[in-house]
Structure 1
Amino acid sequence: MKKIIIPILVLMTVIAGCKTSQSQKKSNLNKTEKGAIIGTSSGAVIGGIIGNKKNNTALGAILGATVGGAVGVVIGNKMDKQAKKIQDELGNAAKVERVGEGIKLTFDSQLLFDFGKATLKESNKDDLWKLANTLKQYPDTDLLIVGHTDNVGSESFNQTLSKKRANAVSNELTSSGISRNRLKIKGKGENQPTETNDSDAGRTQNRRVEIAIYANNKMKTEANKEAI
């Protein structure tokens, strides 16, 4: 029994020493080095997102604004707080996703608009006002609003409709106090479906408005100072 216990104790001591050594090395890393490690891991995740969602304009805007490294970690922490606030305010009115260093919101178009129309429903304007109130608390972000449709109707009609819907959301946020300088819009029509258009359920999913929220230059500059 002693012959068995002693080697086990020695092995446990060696493992503990290795863990301590690793912990000491980690504690000696500066913010940039830690950020680089986290940034590398995030890069793998983002790479997967690009591979799976390369045909999504909102995700492209977020990934295009990515900084990475320690600065990206700081921005990500800020976005975590903002995303939670938005989720708390909107509840089930929108799907809130944290992606890389940004936030992606998805509104079901049928909740905001009547079928084939681009005029916001009065009953659902409150959700955009709630979003605007949160955005005011986080002024150092920019937004890209992207309209999408199903394939019912002509391609040109859907393209125009999607852009009008994105513009309607933008105008509502502006009237709620969000600076127009923070907002960009795009209409993608029926060109970026998330589901098949061969069923009612799929077409419903494809009728949507997506909003990409990402760091502006001011946030990136401040995050760079914090990361040093």
Structure 2
Amino acid sequence: MNLRVTTILASAGLVALGACAPTDGTGTTGMSRTQQGALAGAAVGAVLAGTRDSDSNNQGRDAARGAILGAAAGAIAGNILDRQAQALQQSVSSNVQVVNRGDHLQVILPEGILFATDSAAVTGQAQNDLYAVARNLNQYPNSRVQVVGHTDNTGSAAHNMDLSQRRAQSVASILTAAGVAPARLTATGQGFNQPVASNNTAAGRAQNRRVEILIWPTR
């Protein structure tokens, strides 16, 4: 097996992954993240092993070994995200959305359950959800966590940037108080720079007012 064949196999794996992408808008796929991780890891492992081999006579063997090791590593990472996402969704209220993005988890908390209008003080019910998130983060400690605040476009850019930053910091402070190591956390505000819906309607603006907790595995 030469490098060309190895590359074809890797490309085929990536095409297969693409075929499993969501088609119905629900975020579900034909494969679990564990299976997707294994397939992607196999493709990457084969390419790396094939291209780094100094002895071209053994390139096929080394590519196969790389594929096996890559598949194992990818499957483990995907399985951990699957399990963490499932545990998270079961522990928070129905208003909190947990999305498995494949390489990280996205926890979306709408403003309505977090804050009063133009306030950065977290409500009592939302604190319960944040403590549940903190427990999950402590059960899965090998990750870094980004807390990102977002607003709609009502008011000035400066005011919204400040509000989103203070809201992100409030959420991060509760996670820290609940036992998450501060070194794992960053808190940033994006103001109205990253809308997920139109700011031309009340429903769209409500979607844009949110805090996201992004959980990135570190190994």
Q: Give the TM-score normalised by the residue count of structure 1.
A: 0.66
SS state of the match for residue 104, structure 1?
strand
SS of equivalent residue, structure 2 residue 78: helix
Q: Deviations over 1:40-83 (max 9, x none)?
A: 258648999xxxxxxxxxxxxxxxxxxx5133332111010000
SS of the residue aligned with 2:94?
helix
Unaligned runs of 5+ in 1: 1-35, 49-67, 221-228
- What is the distance in 1 between the residues matched to 2:82 and 2:172? 23
Distance in 2 separating the partners of 1:100 and 1:113: 29
CA contact (8 A) 1:106 1:208 kept: yes
Opposite residue 144 of structure 1, the aligned amino acid is: Q
Task: Please name the residue that 2:61 is paired with.
Answer: none
State percent identity of aligned pairs. 36
Q: Deviations over 1:136-158 (max 9, x none)?
A: 11111111111000011100100
Residue of structure 2 aligned with 1:184, choices 179, 183, 186? 186
Alignment length, in residue pairs? Answer: 164
CA distance 1:215–1:46, shift in 2 (3 Å)? farther
- Structure with larger RCO (C-alpha < 8 A, sep 6+): 1
Cα contact 1:141–1:213 (8 A) shared by 2: yes
Cα distance change on mapping 1:41 and 1:97 into 2, 3 Å: farther
3-state secondary structure, aligned to 2:136: helix
The 1:207–1:38 alpha-carbon spacing in structure 2 relative to 1, beyond 3 Å, is: farther
The structure that has the greater radius of gyration is 1
Residue aligned with 1:117, SS: coil
1:119 corresponding residue in structure 2: 121
In 2, distance between residues paired with 1:177 and 1:139?
A: 11
The whole-number CA distance in structure 1 between the counterparts of 2:195 and 2:178 is 30
Distance 1:206 1:73, change over 3 A: same
The residue identity in structure 2 corresponding to 1:108 is P
After TM superposition, give the deviation of residue 162 of structure 1 in Å. 0.6
Aligned to 1:40: 14
For 1:94, the equivalent position in structure 2 comes to 96
**1:145 equivalent in structure 2:** 147
Structure 2 length-normalised TM: 0.69
Q: 1:143 to 1:42 in 2, by over 3 A?
A: farther
Tell me, what secondary structure is at the counterpart of 1:171? helix
How much has 1:133 moved relative to structure 2?
1.1
Structure 2 letter corresponding to 1:89: S
Aligned CA distance change for structure 1 residues 141 and 162 (closer, same or farther; 3 Å)? same
2:93–2:129 contact (8 Å) kept in structure 1: no
Hey, what's the Cα distance between the residues in 2 that align with 1:184 and 1:42? 35
In structure 2, relative to structure 1, the CA distance for the partners of 1:158 and 1:39 (3 Å cut) is: farther
Greater helix share, structure number: 1
Deviations 1:153-172 (A, max 9, x none): 10010011111111100000
**What RMSD in Å do the two structures reach over aligned CA positions?**
2.5
The question of whether the paired residues in 2 share the 8 Å contact of 1:39 and 1:73 is answered with no
Look up the equivalent residue of 1:40 and give its one-letter code: L
